[in-house]
Amino acid sequence: MLFKDRDEAGVQLAQTLKAYRGQDAIVLGIPRGGVVVAFHVAKELGVPADAMVVRKIPIPWSPEAGFGAVGPDGSVIINEEMMPYLGLSAREIDRLAGEVYAEIQRRMEVYRGEKPWPSLAGKTVILTDDGLATGITMLAAVKTVRNQSPARLIAAIPVASGSGCYLVKPHVDELVCLHTHPEDLPFAVAAFYRLWTDMTDEDVLDYLHRPTNGHPTPEQGTAS
């Protein structure tokens, strides 16, 4: 185990990103756990934090694993290398992706309410999560941000699998990872945290509404 909890991981990760302190930047955390990491990075850098709501498409018989991901705009990324082994029909894939997108829309409503999406054009955007397993969810977030013309795009994570880093690195300007796990060993993000708990929407809102070094907090929403 490398970290006590997500808070400690975020604090440690923030120390490696000090070069971006005070820049025209924003930190986007992938809910749920990535929002905790994003808060601590944004607080250290003195920049805003927000949520980038993307989700994996779970394998029906093994929901902890995913074969693709959906972005907040409804775009779908599929891990094509996995498809021959899964035997899923196009109709099944569409159904699963639709269910994921519905949950993304629900979370966007809970986390953002009427708050407008921040402009990313010309900014340094730092995408965070509490860990990178396959990398497919982060890749969906990266592609969503790229469509909004950032000046620089950084993926920053406390821990990642070697294969996840390999997938994401070509698509970002910089990949920051405190610990990369060897590709030939089993990997689970939770194994690197002493305290690993499931987060609720209320937990996410708590972190989203904490100030980051004097920046105003967004209007408080209500989780349902």
CA dihedral 52, 13, 165, 137 (to 10 degrees): -20
Decide if 31 contacts 204 (C-beta within 8 A). Answer: yes
User: What is the domain class of 6-53+113-208 according to CATH?
Assistant: alpha beta
Sign of CA pseudo-dihedral 181, 185, 189, 191 = negative
For residues 32-48, one letter each, b for 16 or more C-beta atoms within 10 angstroms of the residue's C-beta and e for the rest, the string is bbbbbbbbbbbbbbebb
Quote the pLDDT of residue 2.
86
Predicted confidence at residue 130, as pLDDT, reads 96
Grouped pLDDT means (10 residues each) for the chain, 224 residues: 92 96 94 96 95 94 88 91 90 95 96 90 97 93 95 97 93 96 78 94 95 55 35
Domain boundaries, the chain: 6-53+113-208
Measured in whole angstroms, the distance separating CA 109 from the mean position of its chain's CA atoms is 17
Q: Is 97 exposed, middle or buried (0-12, 13-18, 19+ CB in 10 A)?
A: buried
